[in-house]
Amino acid sequence: MTTLKELQTWIDQVTELTQPDDIHWCDGSEEEYRGMADLLLSNGGFVELNQETHPGCYLHRSDPSDVARVEHLTFVCTSQEEDAGPNNNWLAPDEARSRMKDLFRGCMQGRTMYVIPYCMGPIDSPLSRCGVEITDSPYVVANMKLMTRMGSAALRRIEREGTFVKGLHSIGELDPERRFIMHFPEDLEIQSFGSGYGGNALLGKKCHALRIASYQARTEGWLAEHMLIVGVESPDGEVHYVAAAFPSACGKTNLAMMIPPSNYDGWKIWTLGDDICWMRVGDDGRLWAINPEAGFFGVAPGTAEKTNPNALAMLDHDAIFTNVAVTADGQPWWEGLDDRVPATDWKGNPYDPDGGPAAHPNSRFTVHMSQCPSYSEKAEAPEGVPISAIVFGGRREQLVPLVMESVSWNHGVLMGAAMASETTAANIDTVGVVRRDPMAMKPFCGYNFADYWAHWLSFAGASGHLPKIFHVNWFRKDSDGRFMWPGFGENMRVLEWIVRRCKNDVGAVETPIGRVPHPGDVDLDGISVEPATMKALLDIDVEAWRGELDAIGEYLESYGDRTPAALRVERQRVARALNDA
Ligand code: OXD
Ligand code: MN
């Protein structure tokens, strides 16, 4: 089925190991997608939703033990342990391969093996990279169709280029005791067994486009990041592109599809991506970005008319819902959507208000990007878009101001490396604990963080036209535990300041930890944020920040000798500025 010998040999080896009944090469056609949906409807993998209100929409209920990424079962298997770093679980490649071989042996007996050639990024972009996922899950095939450029065109590119990421996936028995997600970055290879859930099973996403791609990006001189991409259009028609990194389930999708407040006449946000961004320095010295994905795999709970009207508008047709609740008339429902009461919870049981949330907190929608009303055609541009600003952000109740700007590239890298956030339901572990999540890549960096920071720092000398770097925090709370900033569409006010800083047409206040807006420079027209609250949102508590800088220092030192000296120097500079303040 392919002219590429390396691909055919691998397929033959996997066939011999896993013993499928059938092999299906995915062509990516609409008919194939329909066939997959019909198959899933007939075997219980899909439940049909109300086809009058939601044509082409289906619900998938995953195994209740298989509802999120599993960081504790995710490994980076480099030949040297130090190359994976303290930020990853590590196994020696031989050991990992032999464990996985035992799991995969005979696992596709009685099943069809699907071969999915896919391209991450526009099919004709030099920034794109291809992969082939082998899976025994038709749910994965259907999702990959929406999330990637999948099928014949991708196969042609793979045959032309001769290189591709090999991803082998089986749902196995969905037994949490027999579940592993292994990455072999040196061989551009992924093996995932025992989970059918998103990030564990749709291998193009976190496994390829972040873990493997981050490793590959370092060797090839580019960046693979956990970032959304938006175009911010101002009333004069100028568009500035912004890439922003936030940890999982911290509002990337909402920000990516934001509708500016009503007093922002003539402003518009264009959506290019909500999760992953690949960037490379162009001939003009600017960073050019593509979104390697073709769809959104977004968190459903909290998505509502008020928080993300564009997302709601794209979810009433041709979407796959995973682990949401259902109303009596068969419509998808989740907490925060509206005040209807669902009939059935995410497990398919009659809804019991005392029995926990109706939709799983990490329930998801999968939908093709072009269905988003704010979708930008530029998402298909082979050359990508030039990035004016990089924004880092975490979920921090205290300490971290609404927005600050770094004074240099290296300072921006320190801001990214020092990021911390309260954990969310996107991973199976405890929720709400503050952890360091550098560049929002803690679960996704395919190599040692110290080397990753060094890679980021290496760009400083590469060009004089790099984006400015900012840090934001939408989640600060007052002493009564209330959010101080309204968030959602109102974040436009902060984005405007960021864009104006990029154009050098607004000033800033220098503080020891970076530049913040003059309080009057963030437009508060139409929102009930008092000037005193704004002042507090931008306030720097010098004493508390001294403690934070100590904690950052300890964190950086936990990477030992590999921590780049330039990052240490930068931290010392900020610590000194705080001591002098
Ligand atoms: C995601 C995640 O699914 O970050 O995007 O967990
Ligand atoms: Mn993500």
- Evaluate if residue 426 carries a pLDDT over 80: no
Q: What is the pLDDT of residue 463?
A: 82
Out of 195, 214, 225, 275, give the residue to mutate to test ligand 1, the one with the largest number of ligand atoms within 8 Å of its CB. 275
Active site residues: 250
- pTM comes to 0.97
Kindly tell me the sign of the dihedral angle through the C-alpha atoms of 172, 85, 445, 422: positive
pLDDT at 427 over 90: no
The model's pLDDT over 276-301, given as tens digits with 9 standing for 90+, comes to 999 999 999 999 999 999 999 999 99
Which residue has its alpha carbon closest to ligand 1 atom 1? Answer: 248
Look at residue 19 in the predicted model and tell me its pLDDT.
98
Distance CA 105, CA 96 (A): 14
pLDDT in tens, 515-536: 999 989 999 999 999 999 999 9
Atom 2 (ligand 1): residue with closest C-alpha?
A: 248
pLDDT for the residue numbered 299:
94
Q: What was the pLDDT predicted at 290?
A: 98
Q: Which residues contact 407 (CB under 8 A, 6 or more apart)?
A: 510, 514, 515
Of 55, 61, 222, 194, give the one whose Cα is nearest residue 128: 222
133 CB near ligand 1 (under 6 Å): no
Using the atom order of ligand 1, give the atom closest to the CA of residue 199.
Answer: 3
Ligand 1 pocket, residue 299 CB under 6 Å = no
Asked whether 443 lines ligand 1 (CB < 6 A), one says no
Query: Quick one: pLDDT at residue 40?
Result: 98
For 138-190, the pLDDT digits (tens) are 999 999 999 999 999 999 999 999 999 999 999 999 999 999 999 999 999 99
Best mutation site among 227, 274, 297 for ligand 1, i.e. most ligand atoms within 8 A of its Cβ? 297
- Closest-lying ligand 1 atom to the alpha carbon of residue 275: 5
pLDDT at position 26: 98
Indicate the average pLDDT of the chain: 96
Burial status of residue 391 (CB atoms within 10 A of its CB: 0-12, 13-18, 19 or more):
buried
Q: Summarize the confidence of residues 44-70 as an average pLDDT.
A: 97
Q: Quick check: 425 pLDDT over 80?
A: no
Phi/psi-derived region of residue 221, left when phi > 0, alpha when psi is between -120 and 50, beta in every other case: left
In tens, the pLDDT along 465-507 reads 999 999 999 999 999 999 999 999 999 999 999 999 999 999 9
Nearest-angstrom CA–CA distance, 200 and 206: 8
- Residue 209 has what pLDDT? 98
Is residue 430 scored above 90 in pLDDT? no
The rounded Å distance from CA 225 to ligand 2 centre is 10
* pLDDT confidence band for 422 (50 / 70 / 90): confident
Evaluate if residue 513 carries a pLDDT over 80: yes
pLDDT higher than 80, residue 47 = yes
Residue type for position 121: G
More confident residue, 563 or 422: 563
Choose the residue to mutate in 225, 226, 248 for probing ligand 1, maximizing ligand atoms within 8 Å of C-beta. Answer: 248
pLDDT of the residue at 354:
95
pLDDT confidence of residue 327: 98
The pLDDT, as a whole number, for residue 350 is 98
Counting ligands in written order, the one closest to the CA of 245 is 2
State yes or no: pLDDT of 54 exceeds 90. Answer: yes
Q: 3-state SS of 162-225?
A: CCCEEEEEECCCCCHHHCEEEEEHHHCEEEEECCCCHHHHCCHHHHHHHHHHHHHHHHHCCEEE
**What's the mean pLDDT in 88-116?**
98
Which of the four pLDDT bands, split at 50, 70 and 90, describes residue 384? Answer: very high
- Determine contact, residues 211/192, Cβ cutoff 8 Å: no
pLDDT tens digits, 537-579: 999 999 999 999 999 999 999 999 999 999 999 999 999 999 9
Binning pLDDT at 50, 70 and 90, where does residue 238 land? very high
> What percent of the chain lies above the pLDDT cut of 70?
100
At 423 the pLDDT is 80
Query: Is 275 near ligand 1, meaning CB less than 6 Å away?
Result: yes
